[in-house]
Every structure is written in structure tokens, then in C-alpha cells.
């Protein structure tokens, strides 16, 4: 399979192609074009010159494009899931879940296209405003530069392309180098549903070259980035006055109070910790359990973890497959070793089967071990005892990150005070921090980023407010 760049509605050859390998088999799966700087500029120009086309398309037609895209994706659900499984090493059943969420994301985007509006301003509330009528409008921001990660290659692209089209913007998309096939697949679908040429442009190649050009171009009005904190902070520092939204990483935690129903909670925690090999920005990385139930919790957690099936992502039974790269496997093993040398114990996992890291639970890790204080992005979770809920909140807040957190408790006062005191973008009461549906506001505090996704909120970020005042005096 050989792919080409998608610019101005045409498939454009590049002078350079790189081989793409399956994360699981390490076999070559495709040849991917590496855009030159001139080709990135060409894509930006195409998007810039298509702004007028987009602003001339009424809301109901932008909604129709997105509705038709959702319908087409539904027809091709299996094909789309197989692409994700192949390029990202995501187990097929998890990949199908991602495609279904992507369909919902585009449907929500279609609905949001129809409710972009401003408000009237009570001008005569000020002495100087008497005799004036004022209202606001929301206008498209212009060219959106979208940079996306490998771990949800279809749905996280949808969280940028969907609201951008809904809001009447044009787009240059730079997908992660490991997962470009799903992005080109999206271009084929959007071509089929009649998105005008030049509205969506896709350029692949190294983030440092392609991404950097997008960030520094003065024709791009906004960068919407999802990825690692290090890259996100670099983008922010380079972007100048461009609007920037950053959806970055975390080391999400959950608190388990005594008296809760462990039979229900443990399967949720196992899913939260190991789904997509822990390569989820809100993956459950830290579990703080009340000391009265710590022994029972860890025993049952280990039992449940042992039921997971590890292997080929394309096999329908697989729960856990390989990490995205050999480098990440090596790093994860080092971090486990480091935690052990600092006094932690492995309760389950800690080793590999082929190039799959077995789901790993670590007990009593120190807060300064990397598996605790950095983003692990692998199937590794730590389980530590706490004497009080306040202690658990302290551990969760003692982090550079703050995306989402969870607490399981039967006590309403504990739930209320936790919601208030956890310093994160979203608190899940009686659920894992890994919970997300696509219309909810989603984003973090601290090094987890700035700005919110979730269709309504992303449309707000991707539009600019204009005030109109009529003088009737
Ligand atoms: P990454 O290495 O930061 O890459 C993300 C994207 O940025 C890729 O397209 C990458 O291109 C590009 N890039 C790399 N260097 C760049 C530069 N200097 N300028 C502009 N773009 C550049 O992240 P990843 O490994 O793909 O994804 C994992 C990270 O994403 C984790 O930290 C995870 O928590 C985070 N994440 C956050 C959310 C959220 O919503 N908060 C959701 C999912 C993932 P190349 O692939 O070519 O390097």
C-alpha cells in the first residue's frame, strides 16, 4: 500500500516515502509520503484560499456533510477498525469501540453546526449605551492546523476535523507518523461525501518538520494539538499570538474508599488500567485504596488481570497487544525495574510475551518513582494503600498533571469534598478517571493542557466572537 499527500482535493506524490511497520509483527504495512516544506506550504495555501468557500456554505449543509460522513463511516466500520488495529496495534475489539465513538463524534459535530450563535447585549445597562442595540456573532477562525497522536488515530482526528467543519473552518491535518493510514482513509470518505476541495488537507512526515511549519505559519489561525506535554509546551512557546489548544498527557488516579462494592469496581479498574495497553491519556495509572480493603482489592485485581488475553491485535479475542514501538517497551521495562529497586513489588506481570508487555500491577511504589510521577503510557498500574481519603487526594494532586480523576465512595460528603478538592479538569464520582464520552467537556489543568474538546466546547475554541453595535440615537 502506497499513500499520497492530500492537498487541495488531489492526491499529491512526494519526493520521499518512508516505510511504515506494524507495531505487533514489525512487518512493513505501507509506504507513507514525507511532505517537503514546500508541500506543507502548498497545503496551508490551499486551506487559506478555501476559507471563502467554507464561509459560503450554510450551517445546514455543513451539518449534512458531517451526517453523511458519519453514515459512510458506519457502513465501513469493520474496514476502519482493521486499519486502526493494523497501524496502531490496537486490539480489534477496542478499535471497533473507537470507530463507533468516531461516528458519534461526527454526529455531535453535525448537531453543533446548527447551533452556533451569539447573544444580545443589554447596551442600555450603561449610561453611555442608551439608544444602542448590540449583539455578538461567532465567526470561523480561519485555517485550523491540527496535530494528532497515535493512540486514538480516528476519534482524536474527528475531535478536530468535526468541529472545524461544523464551525466553517478549513484544515491542515498532520497525523502521527505511526498512524497516517486512518487519516488518509478519512480523506477518501470526505471526498466521497462532497467536501469541497481544499477544505481538508493532509500532510504526513516528521512532526518536527511538518508540525513546526504549521505552528510557525502566519496563515494558520489556530493550532489544535493532542499529544505529549513536551511537544505541546514547545508548540505553545513557538505559536506567538496564534490560538492554541493543548490536550496533553497525565498520570490519572482513582481513590477507592472502604465499604464499596469491589465486584463491580475491579473489572472497571482493570479496563481503565490496561485498555489499549495503557496508551490512553486518561489511563488509570495510580490506584489509592483504603488500607482496610487493600489486601482484598489487590488480590481480586490480580485475579481479574490474569483473565486478559494478550496477542495479535487483529484477533477478535485479544485484550492486550504490543506497545506502539520497541523503544516504549524498553522504557516501560526500565521504569518497572527502577520502581522495584526503589522498594516496590510486582503483583502481576512485569515481563514480556514476545513484544507484548504483560499487564502489570505494582504495589507500594514510591511517589518519586517514574511509574508514579511521570506518564507511563503502558499497561502498568500502581496500587498503594491510604489511611484516609484526604491522603489519596493529596497523592493525586501531587502531580505535574491534572486531566481527570476518579473516586469510588458511598459517602455523599466524601464525594462532594473530593469533587471540590481534586485539582483536575474532570472528576468522576463512582467511576474510573478513564471515563469519557465525546460530547462532554474534556481537557486538563497544569501540564495536562489548556482549552477544552467535546464538540460544543471545541466549536467555541474554533470560532471568534464579533460584536455588532447599532447606534439608533
Ligand atoms: P507526541 O509524540 O507528542 O506526538 C503527537 C503529534 O505531534 C504527532 O503527530 C507528532 O508527529 C507531532 N509532533 C512531534 N514533534 C512535533 C513538533 N516539534 N512540532 C509539532 N508537532 C510535533 O505524542 P504521541 O506519542 O503521538 O501521543 C501520546 C501522547 O499524547 C501522550 O502524552 C498522551 O497522554 C497524549 N494524549 C493526550 C490526549 C488528550 O486528549 N489529553 C489524548 C490522547 C493522547 P510525529 O508522529 O511525526 O512525531
- pLDDT tens digits, 430-464: 999 999 999 999 999 999 999 999 999 999 999 99
Q: Are 110 and 66 in contact (CB under 8 A)?
A: yes
Residue 359: which domain range? 253-438
Same domain as 459, residue 312: no
The pLDDT of residue 37: 97
As beta bridge partners, residue 467 has: 136
Collapse the DSSP code of 167 into the 3-class scheme (helix H, G, I; strand E, B; otherwise coil) and give the result.
Answer: coil
- In angstroms, the CA 106 to CA 69 distance is 7
Considering only CA atoms, which of 223, 200, 168 is closest in space to residue 54?
A: 168
The label of the residue with cell 491542515 reads 172
Residue 281 falls in the annotated catalytic set? yes
Let me know if 303 is a catalytic residue: no
Task: Examine the domain organization and report whether 51 and 199 are in the same domain.
Answer: yes
**In this structure, is the dihedral angle defined by the CA atoms of residues 406, 408, 414 and 415, taken in order, positive or negative?**
positive
**Separation CA 322–CA 324 (nearest Å):** 6
pLDDT in tens, 216-273: 999 999 999 999 999 999 999 999 999 999 999 999 999 999 999 999 999 999 999 9
- Write down the H helix ranges in 176-261: 181-192, 212-216, 229-238
Question: Contact at 8 Å (CB) between 154 and 182?
Answer: yes
User: Which DSSP category does 390 fall into?
Assistant: H
| Spacing of C-alpha 177 from chain mean position | 16
Contacts of 160 (CB under 8 A, 6+ apart): 144, 146, 148, 171, 173, 224, 226, 458
Cα three-residue angle 80-251-145, rounded to 5 degrees: 50
pLDDT tens digits, 17-48: 999 999 999 999 999 999 999 999 999 999 99
Instruction: Evaluate whether 432 touches 224 at the Cβ level (below 8 Å).
Output: no
Buried b (16+ CB within 10 A) or exposed e, 257-271: beebebeebbebbbb
State which H helix or E strand residue 30 sits in.
Answer: strand 28-33
In tens, the pLDDT along 394-424 reads 999 999 999 999 999 999 999 999 999 999 9
* Residues whose CB falls within 8 Å of the CB of residue 288, separated by 6 or more in sequence, listed in order: 253, 254, 255, 256, 384, 385, 386, 391, 392, 395, 396
Give me ligand 1 centre to Cα 244, in Å. 14
Query: Based on the domain organization, do 14 and 123 belong to the same domain?
Result: yes
Residue 386 lies in a domain: yes
Residues 22 and 168 in one domain: yes
CATH of the domain at 216: 3.40.605.10
**Do 211 and 239 belong to one domain?**
yes
Segment 358-367 mean pLDDT: 98
The answer to whether residue 429 is domain-embedded is yes
State whether 431 and 462 are in the same domain: no
In this structure, are 98 and 85 located in the same domain? yes
pLDDT in tens, 275-334: 999 999 999 999 999 999 999 999 999 999 999 999 999 999 999 999 999 999 999 999
Say how many Å lie between the CA of residue 247 and the centre of ligand 1.
9
Amino acid 397: pLDDT? 98
Choose the catalytic residue: 87, 98, 112, 247.
247
Q: Give the chain's length.
A: 473
Q: Please tell me if the CB atom of residue 149 comes closer than 6 angstroms to any atom of ligand 1.
A: yes
**Which residue's CA is minimally distant from atom 35 of ligand 1?**
227
For 217, 248, 268, 395, 415, the CA distances from 262, given in Å and listed in that order, are: 52, 31, 10, 22, 17
Strands 253-256 and 286-290, bridge-based pairing: parallel
Report d(CA 284, CA 264) in Å as an integer.
16
248 ligand 1 Cβ < 6 A: yes
Q: Whose CA is nearest to atom 37 of ligand 1?
A: 248
Query: Which tens digits make up the pLDDT trace of 3-22?
Result: 999 999 999 999 999 999 99
Cell of 19: 516505510
CA distance 297 to 381: 13
- Cell output for 332: 516501560
- Spatial contact of 378 and 283, defined as CB atoms under 8 Å apart: no
Q: Where does the pLDDT of residue 344 fall: very low under 50, low under 70, confident under 90, or very high at 90 and above? A: very high
Residue 473: pLDDT band (50, 70, 90) is confident
Please tell me if the CB atom of residue 174 comes closer than 6 angstroms to any atom of ligand 1.
yes
The answer on 383 and 460 residing in a single domain is no
Tell me, yes or no, whether 18 lies in a domain: yes
216 and 260 part of one domain: no
**Number of domains the chain contains:** 2
pLDDT tens digits, one per residue of 86-138 = 999 999 999 999 999 999 999 999 999 999 999 999 999 999 999 999 999 99
pLDDT confidence tier of residue 167, bands split at 50, 70 and 90: very high
Cell numbers 467537556 correspond to what residue?
441
For helices 155-166 and 92-113, angle between their N-to-C axes, nearest 10 degrees: 10
DSSP string, 366-383: -TTSHHHHS---SSEEEE
What is the three-class DSSP state of 361? Answer: strand
* Rounded distance from Cα 233 to ligand 1 centre (Å): 11
Q: Report the distance separating Cα 289 and Cα 364, nearest Å.
A: 11
Question: Is any atom of ligand 1 closer than 6 Å to the C-beta of 247?
Answer: yes
Q: Please, what is the average pLDDT of the chain?
A: 98
Same domain, yes or no, for 96 and 23? yes
pLDDT of residue 423: 98
| CATH code of residue 351 | 3.40.309.10
198 lies in some domain: yes
Whether residues 244 and 262 share a domain: the answer is: no
- What's the 59 CA to ligand 1 centre distance in angstroms? 31
Residues 258 and 239 in one domain: no
Q: For residue 443, is it within any domain? A: no
Amino acid at each position: 500500500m502506497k499513500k499520497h499527500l492530500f492537498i487541495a482535493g488531489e492526491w499529491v506524490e512526494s519526493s520521499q516515502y518512508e516505510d511504515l511497520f506494524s507495531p505487533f509483527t514489525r512487518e512493513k504495512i505501507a509506504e507513507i509520503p514525507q511532505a517537503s516544506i514546500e508541500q506543507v506550504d502548498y497545503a496551508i495555501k490551499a486551506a487559506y484560499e478555501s476559507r471563502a468557500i467554507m464561509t459560503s456554505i450554510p450551517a445546514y449543509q455543513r451539518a449534512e456533510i458531517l451526517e453523511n460522513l458519519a453514515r459512510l463511516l458506519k457502513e465501513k466500520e469493520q474496514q476502519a477498525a482493521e486499519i486502526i488495529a493494523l497501524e496502531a496495534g490496537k486490539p480489534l475489539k477496542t478499535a471497533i469501540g473507537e470507530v463507533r465513538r468516531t461516528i458519534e463524534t461526527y454526529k455531535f459535530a453535525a448537531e453543533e453546526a446548527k447551533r452556533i450563535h451569539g447573544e444580545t447585549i443589554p447596551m442600555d445597562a450603561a449610561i453611555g449605551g442608551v439608544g444602542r442595540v448590540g449583539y455578538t456573532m461567532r465567526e470561523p477562525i480561519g485555517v485550523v492546523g491540527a496535530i494528532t497522536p497515535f493512540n486514538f488515530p480516528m476519534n482524536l482526528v474527528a475531535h478536530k476535523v468535526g468541529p472545524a467543519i461544523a464551525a466553517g473552518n478549513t484544515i491542515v491535518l498532520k497525523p502521527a507518523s505511526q498512524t497516517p493510514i486512518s487519516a488518509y482513509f478519512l480523506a477518501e470518505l470526505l471526498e466521497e461525501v462532497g467536501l469541497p476541495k481544499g477544505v481538508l488537507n493532509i500532510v504526513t512526515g516528521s512532526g518536527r518538520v511538518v508540525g513546526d511549519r504549521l505552528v510557525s505559519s502566519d496563515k494558520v489561525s489556530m493550532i489544535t494539538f493532542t499529544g505529549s506535554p513536551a511537544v505541546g509546551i514547545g508548540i505553545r512557546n513557538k505559536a506567538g499570538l496564534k490560538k492554541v489548544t493543548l490536550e496533553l498527557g497525565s498520570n490519572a488516579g482513582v481513590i477507592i474508599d472502604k465499604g464499596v462494592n469491589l465486584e463491580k469496581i475491579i473489572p472497571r479498574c482493570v479496563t481503565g488500567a490496561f485498555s489499549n495497553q495503557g496508551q490512553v491519556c486518561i489511563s488509570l495509572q495510580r490506584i489509592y485504596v483504603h488500607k482496610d480493603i487493600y489486601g482484598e482489592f489487590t488480590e481480586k485485581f490480580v485475579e481479574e488481570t490474569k483473565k486478559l488475553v494478550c496477542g495479535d491485535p487483529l484477533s477478535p479475542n485479544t485484550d492486550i497487544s504490543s506497545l506502539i514501538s520497541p523503544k516504549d517497551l524498553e522504557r516501560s521495562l526500565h521504569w518497572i525495574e527502577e520502581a522495584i529497586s526503589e522498594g516496590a513489588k510486582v503483583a502481576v506481570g512485569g515481563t514480556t510475551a514476545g513484544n507484548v508487555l504483560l499487564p502489570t500491577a505494582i504495589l507500594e511504589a514510591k511517589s518519586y518513582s517514574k511509574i508514579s510521577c511521570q506518564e507511563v503510557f503502558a499497561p502498568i498500574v500502581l496500587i498503594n494503600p491510604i489511611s484516609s481519603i484526604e491522603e489519596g487526594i493529596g497523592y493525586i494532586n501531587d502531580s505535574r498533571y491534572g486531566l481527570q480523576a476518579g473516586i469510588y465512595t458511598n459517602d455523599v460528603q466524601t464525594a462532594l469534598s473530593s469533587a471540590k478538592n481534586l485539582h483536575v479538569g474532570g472528576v468522576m464520582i463512582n467511576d474510573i478517571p478513564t471515563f469519557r464520552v465525546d460530547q462532554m467537556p474534556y481537557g486538563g489543568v497544569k501540564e495536562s493542557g489548556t482549552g477544552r474538546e467535546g464538540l460544543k466546547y471545541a466549536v467555541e475554541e474554533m470560532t471568534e466572537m464579533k460584536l455588532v453595535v447599532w447606534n439608533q440615537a
